[in-house]
Amino acid sequence: MKKAPESPVWRNVGLIALLVFVVDQALKYLVVHLLQLDRVREIDVISPWLNLRMAWNQGMNFGLFASDVDVMRWVLIAIAVAVCLWVGTWVLRAKPSKLAQVSAGLLIGGALGNVIDRMVYGAVADFLNMSLPGWQNPYSFNVADIAIFIGALGLVIQPPEGKVDPAKRRQPPKPRTQQPGTPRAPRTGTKPPAPVGQGELLLEETPRGDKPRDEGGKAG
């Protein structure tokens, strides 16, 4: 049976990126516009393990490089777009493994989701908060942040391409197979077999009841 042709790399990465982007934007629309979390600020779901806590992030993940200056917003947008273009170009040229394709799709989809937030709202909409009993987590995040973190981690830990398996290195080399029609070389210390008809005595069976005769022709 013939194997089904593999999907192009750009299709795998694009589908994963599109899925992450749609889920991220749908949840943000639900939280901001339908639940109006930007006004309510807090909604307990499974306290304290999972709650909705509205936070407008003007920086990167966990508020890194946050700034009220409008120029910084466009700088972060340019950085995110440049990272997406670089990862997309690398994926198309390198033909990476399935793990790298999934990781690249997660990273691109999450980055584009946060880019849309900066362009529409001026900041990234973070609303997911996970805490523990007796400890309140001060940070909130979103689906795009999760996808970016997993995607970046997957690209870092992916196995290098073209590396020879150590188990294959330890295997002894296979003996060369003899091509048909090539005579075998005789082994050392052994006598090659003589061809049929040379150096062999063929003894005919003596019929039962007949006595062997001597050289004079007399029966013994």
Q: Among this protein's residues, is 126 annotated catalytic?
A: yes
Lookup result for tokens 């670089």: 86
DSSP E strands, the chain: 42-46, 50-57, 124-129
Catalytic, out of 145, 165, 210, 214: 145
Sheet holding 124-129, edge to edge: 42-46, 50-57, 124-129
Task: Evaluate whether 48 touches 136 at the Cβ level (below 8 Å).
Answer: yes
Q: Among this protein's residues, is 38 annotated catalytic?
A: no
Question: Own/partner pairs for 163-169, CB < 8 Å, 24+ apart?
Answer: none
Catalytic, out of 126, 165, 210, 214: 126
d(CA 56, CA 209): 118
* Residues that are catalytic: 126, 145
